[in-house]
Structure 1
């Protein structure tokens, strides 16, 4: 009988429910998919500031007055913010998550106080957790596995 080759372990994370983008609005009982709410909020906030700034400048610069051509200047950047804000970066984080990581990195209290030296540890210590089954159900399976390993002559049969 040939030895069984163990399958590689594969782990999937299906629990990212809190950080998953909310893309659904409900209007009564009718779901409206397709809107990324954090990006929509960021685009709305940026768009409001952008319009106030451009309308203020338009009072002094007449070529910034509202026309078909300047509407791209007025509405293009907020629309771009919507699409950039919700798209994952190469680090698999969205722009809002990356900004939180960046702010935490630069403004953490240890860094502000000068205590966060960026250096590698000089010594690495390994910690091993050994488990011995205590329940009779597991003990019988463990003993059966040891007997099978002893018959096959594998390293699992070494005495402990």
Structure 2
């Protein structure tokens, strides 16, 4: 029997799987709260009888983070959706791991949630330091271009 508030409960909590409930269930709840802070709503419809709400939480993918008027970047969407993964093993292992990725996001660093993507890992520092990298290159091209046209 479930005890708690289903709107913030993880899918495994709703089915009474006490053996599967661990710190990642808390991460799921934090993901719901983060989603609410960003959008003003829940990631799924929480109206109706308890069993219908529980079924949606267990089976339906969270609504895209674009539900509000703001557009969120891919890294922020990744953090929130990792928290809201239906399978506990796909979530952050602890709230501390989530907090580290939020700090990385705020600093513009590579997220742990995306380290498996080589392209992302290589591209992220370039985007972060675009001006530092692009500035000297742009100046040298400009000077070279002027010298070539003068000759």
TM-score (ref. length: structure 1): 0.26
Between structures 1 and 2, the one with greater strand share: 1
Look at both structures and tell me which one has the larger radius of gyration over its CA atoms.
1
